[in-house]
Amino acid sequence: MKFPVLLPNIFDYPFTYESDLNLTTGDFVEVPFGKSKIFGIVWDEFEKNNNKKFAIRKIVKKLDIPKLNKNLLNFISWFAKYNIVPKGMVLKLLFLAGKPVEKVNTKFYENFNYQLKRNSIKLSDEQRNSLSQINNSNKEFNVHVLQGTTGSGKTIVYFEALKKRLEKGFQILIMLPEIGLTNDFEKKFIDFFGFNPALWHSNVSKKNKEIIWSGIIENKIKVVIGARSSLFLPFKKLGLIIVDEEHDQSYKQDEGIIYNARDMAIARASFENVPINLITAVPSVETFENIKNGKYNISKLKHRYKNASLPNYEIINLNNVKLDKQTWISNEIIKKIKFHLEKKDQVLFFLNRRGFSPNVLCKKCVNTYSCPNCSINLVYHKKKNKLLCHYCGFKTSLRRDCKKEGICDFIFSGPGVERIFEEVKKIFPKKKIEIFSSDTMNKKDSKEKLERIINNEIDILVGTQLISKGFHFPSLNCIIVVDIDLSTNGHDLRNTEKNLQLYHQLSGRAGRTGKPSTVYFQTFNSNSKMISDITNKNPDILLDKEIQIRKQNNLPPFQRFISLILTGNNESILEKEAIKFKVAVEKKIIGKILGPVEAPIFRIKKKYRMRLLIRGPKSLKLQNSLASIIPNYKFPYGIKLSVDVDPISFN
């Protein structure tokens, strides 16, 4: 008997094999492919329009693994069409290093033994009302948004809702945007539920991933807390998906297979016919529009837990304050910090730049230190004493022969968190100070660091955007935004939305236990309205304005954007090919094509980059029209096309 088998590779169709085995759609099988043997899935349809005559090879064996359900197969097919990638490459996301996992020793599942503990957390009236609305929604597929001001107890509310689904025997997927959040979140989960969830992200060992993958498909593991890739786990009885910090840009996978994990999680919930809860303090514009047009349900927590007050805001106008040369902290801010430290308040200096300095140049020959592989400056990391490229990972030492004479005499332009750390250390030499960034918090000792921060054993933090994402620091009552102008400048169409979300999240780290708290903004911008807009207690006001601007200008979410990036080694050949590709595409797609133009970062990893942007109606017709062209278009050797549906970044 003949069977279609989808393989985890670049093909968009299954291959035909034969077997005497009793096989059904979704079964895992091993098959010969070329000179080797690989694993695949018995698919639900044969390859279409293949008139070639070929010898049909035999399936080697059926694996002893529960089969994939039809809902997941349908999701894989839809995901491939939506994101314009081959089905086989989507299947690869579901496998571990190209293969599924046969049964593991059941003793390994014991670490995840599911036994709910009783807890006696008293919910506020507002929390109980939100919980009731979520429980009423959590029966079959629908999207419910839990929007709550920072510190309002959103996590406890959805934990209670999650418990109801667990009691009915379902498996749960909780998605987080950053690996750095998982340790703190895992502790909260264990404290509440009394059992270990499975953690799923790139730092989990191969052996643990095999145990978790097998435990999920066998329905032995009930809860997974994971990053983007957890979306492709083969749940046996999925009953609820939760996307925490749904607005976070980190849900966008921007290398390899490009997709937005939040949007794909909503799609998977739809195919599985299970509810999905989106959790946020400030919704993304897309989510906000779907709430307004009635596609998504919403419940709100407007007050902080135990009625803790939100922080006050104070603007320090740097035009009226003289900063000493090569310093970024004003005397006025220093006075404020001393006041807070005397009260035993924890203090945070916020600057969304890793490293010591973003620009290094020689004052003799005036040459900047730029990446040889990418068209961006190298960032100096003083702790490592290296210049680093944040795009390709290139490293080099600071020492360099000067084009004029001797060794370069370098100067640093602009601060990163390491530089602010040094300045703070000089001002407060006796205080315990820590840097909180992805360079310091994705390491083995990060769990211990978090506990020291929570226990107020660290006096001052110097942090990047990572610190704004869901952490609970009971003693943090003072935040200094070193330079808000750095984040409010730029021409990103999502700039307003990003800043609204960032500064609401950041402010939400302060005053969570009820003590008075203040956020201080240092700025050269005399327009204080911009700061008051993005820190308004009701973020919906600014989101409403943003929606109107997007609607007037036919921008997402009212039109679909698809970004096409062509990369190649030769600049002139690439430019000609980009123009040629546009001509071939523009009359055949259901949309308008803009460009080609040089990408803002024109060179990454030694490859030049040309960008085209397609804008068109919000339907799969746009993707389908493009997908019919791309496989048949032959690019010259060395030129590669990347497709990004619903782009977040325009670099």
Rounded alpha-carbon distances, angstroms, from residue 234 to 28, 215, 228, 371, 541: 12, 10, 14, 41, 41
User: Where a domain ends, among 305, 320, 339?
Assistant: 305
**Could you tell me if 196 and 266 lie in one domain?**
yes
**Within-domain flag for 440:** yes
Concatenated DSSP letters for 349-395?
EE----SSBSEEEETTT--B-B-SSSSSBPEEETTTTEEE-TTT--E
How high is the pLDDT of residue 494? 84
Mark whether 130 and 246 lie in a shared domain: yes
CA 152 to chain centre: 23
* pLDDT computed for residue 194 by the predictor: 87
Judge whether residue 50 has pLDDT over 70: no
432-484 confidence digits (pLDDT tens): 999 988 887 766 667 788 888 888 899 999 999 888 877 788 899 999 999 88
Q: Can you tell me the distance from the alpha carbon of 228 to that of 178, in angstroms, rounded to the nearest whole number?
A: 9
Q: Is the pLDDT of residue 206 over 80?
A: yes
pLDDT reading at 335 higher than 70: yes
What average pLDDT does the structure give for the chain? 90
Give me the domain span that covers residue 518.
309-356+415-547
Strand partners, 40: 29
Would you state the structure tokens that stand for residue 78, as one six-digit string? Answer: 């839809």
Same domain, yes or no: 138 and 26: no
- Answer yes or no: is pLDDT of 579 > 70: yes
Report the percent of the chain where pLDDT is more than 90: 60
State the amino acid at position 631 in one-letter form: P
The helix (run of H) or strand (run of E) holding residue 89 is helix 87-94
**Whether residue 273 has pLDDT greater than 80:** yes
CATH of the domain at 610: 3.30.70.600
Q: Which residue has the tokens 């293949």?
A: 50
Asked if residue 469 lies in contact with residue 436, where contact means CB atoms within 8 angstroms, the answer is no
- Whether 347 and 449 map to the same domain: the answer is yes
pLDDT score at 263: 97
- 48: pLDDT confidence band, cut at 50, 70 and 90? confident
Same domain (yes/no): 188, 216: yes
Q: Which residue among 94, 126, 150 closes a domain?
A: 94
Q: Judge contact between 593 and 620, C-beta under 8 A.
A: no
Assess whether 536 and 584 both reside in one domain: no
Confidence of residue 241 (pLDDT cuts 50, 70, 90): very high
Clarify whether residues 158 and 244 are in a common domain: yes
Contacts of 393 (CB under 8 A, 6+ apart): none
Question: What pLDDT score was predicted for residue 444?
Answer: 66
pLDDT of residue 442: 65
- Asked if 286 and 338 sit in the same domain, the reply is no
Q: Are residues 472 and 593 in the same domain?
A: no
SS3 state of residue 314: strand
Please report which confidence band the pLDDT of residue 347 belongs to, taking 50, 70 and 90 as the band edges: very high
pLDDT-based confidence at residue 112 (cuts at 50, 70, 90): confident
Which residue intervals of 474-539 are DSSP H helices?
A: 485-488, 495-507, 528-534
pLDDT at 488: 57
Whether the predicted pLDDT of 279 surpasses 70: yes
Give a yes or no: residue 404 inside a domain.
no
Gap between the Cα atoms of 31 and 540, Å rounded: 54
Asked whether residue 374 is domain-assigned, the answer is: no
At 443 the pLDDT is 63
The CATH number of the domain holding residue 85 is: 3.40.1440.60
| Contact criterion met (CB below 8 Å) for 42 and 29 | yes
Domain presence at residue 370: no
